[in-house]
Structure 1
Amino acid sequence: MMKQLFSSTLLGMIFLLCSSSISGQSLTPAQAPSGSTTTSGQSSPPTQAPSGSSSPSGPADIIAVLTKAGKFTTFIGLLKSSQVDSLINTQLKKPGNGFTVFAPTDSAFSNLKTGTLNSFTDEQKAALTKFHIIPSFLTIAQFQTVSNPVHTSASGDSEEFPLNVIGNGTQVNMTTGLVNTTVDSTAYSDGQLAVYEIPQVLLSQGILNPQAPAPAPLPPKPKKAAPLNALSPSRSTTVSVDSSGATGLLHYAPTVASIGVAVLAAMSLSLWTEWQIDGW
């Protein structure tokens, strides 16, 4: 009986210990894993950690880039008046296209001779603007291997629009034959559009002295009408005698006259002789 009582007591103590350990545990529900179903029945997407970089908003706008820099007002006006800005922005929207722009500062335009820019025609201003643009993307390092003269958007003739660019490490020197300058800094670069600040305006002979357009060809001369005697062979032609021929005839006129008189005299004598004989 003592064994049964001891066994009952031992079982009761084990039961009490197990009950107290269960009641001491936290009854809060486990957190649902990411993407689990909420109380509304909808699946919530997993939260993504920020990458630290914003998504690209599209190709750059050349006017916006220069405006943000705050010192290219005159060059912006040239881009707009010549509509070169629209050309650049349109091409940048197409994959594979790129541009390199040498942007003169407002101080660079102020250093020009007074009235230079105002004296330019619209064609000269357009040529000036295009002369500062290379239709391909070039980094500072690529100027060390670029082929000279560099082809610009105004390079219809390399003799009129020569631009030689020489890179040496981080320094870039440029010359047009009239202007020698350097790249001061990189104003913008995104792999498709590069804008480099320059302290002088690039001028060339093709801008200052544009060639006049070639004159239009003259109309063909009308064919002369054929003379009447050539069209009418039945008509007699008049033979003209120059003055030397007339002088020669006058020189021999006395001799010819003397011969004629002698012939007439001989004929008269012959006729008279025959008449005498017949009269006998």
Structure 2
Amino acid sequence: MSQHFISIHFLLLLLILLCTTTTTTLAQPAPAPGPPGPTNITKILEKAGQFTTLIRLLAITNVGDQIKTQLNNSKQGMTILAPTDNAFSALSAGTLNSLNDQQKDELIQFHVIPTFLATSQFQTLSNPIRTQAGDSTYYKFPLNITTSSNSVNITTGVVNATLANSIYSDGSLAVYQVDKVLLPMSLFGPQPPAAAPAPEPVKDKKKTGKDDTAAAGDGSAKANSGVVFLRGDLHAFIPGVFALIGMIYF
């Protein structure tokens, strides 16, 4: 009887301890969620589909990693103009293969704007827009975005493209689908006109001065010789005149 009583008490004590432990465990606050990871442009494009070529170029040029880094370190945000696989397929055969590694990097950087642009901002942009490719002057990497009715038009000096729709936007990164690959002037446009030829060198003024002085000296010498010759003739002529006069009067 006493052993049975002890067993009951032991079971009750064990049950109380178990309930206390469970209550304590449930009462602990949940850990705070960690900071969100960097936005992954590759995953965004993979989810959207039809961007296989662009994803491959982002990888081989390391532009995809650069976008992640800049989104973490910059408050300006970024905008990606993403050509579809159909847009790349529409290029002339061998277009991409004709580019070296640096040119491929410039081509992809030309599709990246280093600021976040919402759709409402396209109407107030100042052209040309500077991209990650750099210099936006005419023969380099100019990009102009204009709006007409409900369409957004993009011109590079080589191609005219249209912004099709928004793929992603979170206030820091905006990704828009475009219907053509944006070909920059620097890689696919005409070359700037050749510089004008240099002017002919100016003659040495000192040397010219010496020549002029010599010429003047020659002229002076000739003039002086003429005067001397005239004086000699007069000396010979004057006695004859006096002799003639004497003969007339005498």
Instruction: Choose from 185, 188, 192 the match for 1:205.
Output: 185
Partner of 2:159: 179
Partner of 1:39: 20
Partner of 2:198: none
Partner of 2:40: 61
Q: After superposition, where does 1:177-256 map in structure 2 within 5 Å?
A: 177-208=157-188
Post-superposition shift, 1:57? 3.3
Post-superposition shift, 1:44? 5.6
Post-superposition shift, 1:197? 0.7
Post-superposition shift, 1:97? 4.0
Structure-1-length-normalised TM-score? 0.55
For 1:47 and 1:199, locate their aligned partners in 2 and report how far apart those are by CA, in whole Å. 54
Offset from partner CA, 1:228-265 (integer Å, 9 cap, x none): xxxxxxxxxxxxxxxxxxxxxxxxxxxxxxxxxxxxxx
Partner of 2:147: 166
Post-superposition shift, 1:157? 3.6
Post-superposition shift, 1:130? 0.8
Post-superposition shift, 1:106? 0.6
Q: After superposition, where does 1:1-280 map in structure 2 within 5 Å?
A: 38-40=19-21, 42-43=23-24, 45=26, 57-94=36-73, 96-160=75-139, 161-166=142-147, 168-169=149-150, 171-208=151-188
Relative to structure 1, is the Cα distance of residues 75 and 210 closer, same or farther in structure 2, using a 3 angstrom cutoff?
farther
For 2:168 and 2:118, locate their aligned partners in 1 and report how far apart those are by CA, in whole Å. 11
Aligned CA-pair RMSD: 4.4
For 1:41 and 1:73, locate their aligned partners in 2 and report how far apart those are by CA, in whole Å. 51
Partner of 1:215: none
Structure-2-length-normalised TM-score? 0.61
Q: Is the 8 A contact 2:164 2:179 kept in 1?
A: yes
Q: How many percent of aligned residue pairs carry the same amino acid?
A: 44
Q: Is the 8 A contact 1:150 1:162 kept in 2?
A: yes
Offset from partner CA, 1:58-109 (integer Å, 9 cap, x none): 2211112112222111111221222111111111122514110001001001
For 1:110 and 1:157, locate their aligned partners in 2 and report how far apart those are by CA, in whole Å. 27
Answer with 1 or 2: which has the greater Rg: 1
Offset from partner CA, 1:208-242 (integer Å, 9 cap, x none): 25979xxxxxxxxxxxxxxxxxxxxxxxxxxxxxx
Contiguous gaps of at least 5 residues in structure 2: 1-18, 193-250
Amino acid at match of 2:174: A
SS, match of residue 144 in structure 1: helix
Q: Which segments of structure 1 move beyond 6 Å, counting only runs of 4 or more?
A: none
Offset from partner CA, 1:1-21 (integer Å, 9 cap, x none): xxxxxxxxxxxxxxxxxxxxx
Post-superposition shift, 1:165? 3.7
Relative to structure 1, is the Cα distance of residues 40 and 172 closer, same or farther in structure 2, using a 3 angstrom cutoff?
same
Relative to structure 1, is the Cα distance of residues 90 and 168 closer, same or farther in structure 2, using a 3 angstrom cutoff?
farther
For 1:185 and 1:41, locate their aligned partners in 2 and report how far apart those are by CA, in whole Å. 53
Post-superposition shift, 1:45? 5.0
State the aligned residue count: 208
